């Protein structure tokens, strides 16, 4: 007759204990392997790219800003002499005193209707006489030397 080895309770307990120890030993060895791995190499901190510099205004934008200020100061001048001296300063920004000034009175489907064309000298004197600045600059063209060669205005 054959003898069964697992029938005795002591054999079963011993077998379970040995199996448990082997299982626990295997787990400990895995933990050691994981714990003994070298720490990851330090990652270089990448500094963010410097913020882009604010865009410099174009020559046209600078000229528009100056002209809008000049137009306001001429129409709000306290005396005729002050307005005349400001007009002389403004004329220095233009290629000549006969530079055309076009005033858009209506636009539909990309087709513009203009008021009677005038020159910058006449327009500046008009601002001085009426003391009203009813237009804003919608388009400006500069010549090669940076002076205004054409000006287009619109009603505010």
Rounded Cα–Cα distance for residues 52 and 59 (Å): 20
The whole-model pTM stands at 0.65
Cα(111)–Cα(147) distance, rounded to whole angstroms?
27
Helices 59-75 and 80-91 meet at what angle, rounded to 10? 160
Full set of structural domains in the chain with CATH: 59-155 (3.10.450)
- List, for residues 44-99, the tens digit of each pLDDT value: 777 777 777 778 888 899 999 999 999 999 999 999 999 999 999 999 999 999 99
Pairing relation of β-strands 111-114 and 118-119?
Answer: unpaired
**CA proximity to 125, closest of 79, 64, 75, 89:** 75
Is residue 28 scored above 60 in pLDDT? no
The answer, yes or no, to whether residue 148 has pLDDT greater than 80, is yes
Q: Which tokens sit at 2? A: 């054959």
């Amino acid at each position: 007759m054959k003898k069964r080895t697992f029938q005795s309770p002591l054999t079963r307990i011993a077998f379970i204990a040995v199996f448990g120890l082997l299982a626990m030993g295997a787990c400990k060895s895995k933990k050691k392997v994981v714990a003994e791995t070298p720490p990851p190499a330090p990652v270089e901190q990448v500094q963010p790219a410097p913020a882009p510099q604010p865009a410099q205004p174009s020559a046209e934008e600078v000229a528009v800003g100056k002209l809008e200020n000049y137009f306001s100061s001429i129409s709000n001048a306290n005396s005729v002499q002050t307005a005349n001296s400001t007009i002389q300063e403004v004329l220095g920004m233009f290629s000549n005193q006969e530079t055309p000034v076009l005033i858009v009175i209506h636009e539909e489907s990309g087709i513009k209707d203009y008021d009677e064309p005038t020159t910058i000298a006449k327009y500046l004197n008009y601002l001085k006489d009426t003391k009203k600045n009813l237009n804003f600059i919608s388009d400006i063209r500069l010549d090669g030397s940076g002076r205004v060669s054409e000006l287009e205005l619109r009603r505010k």
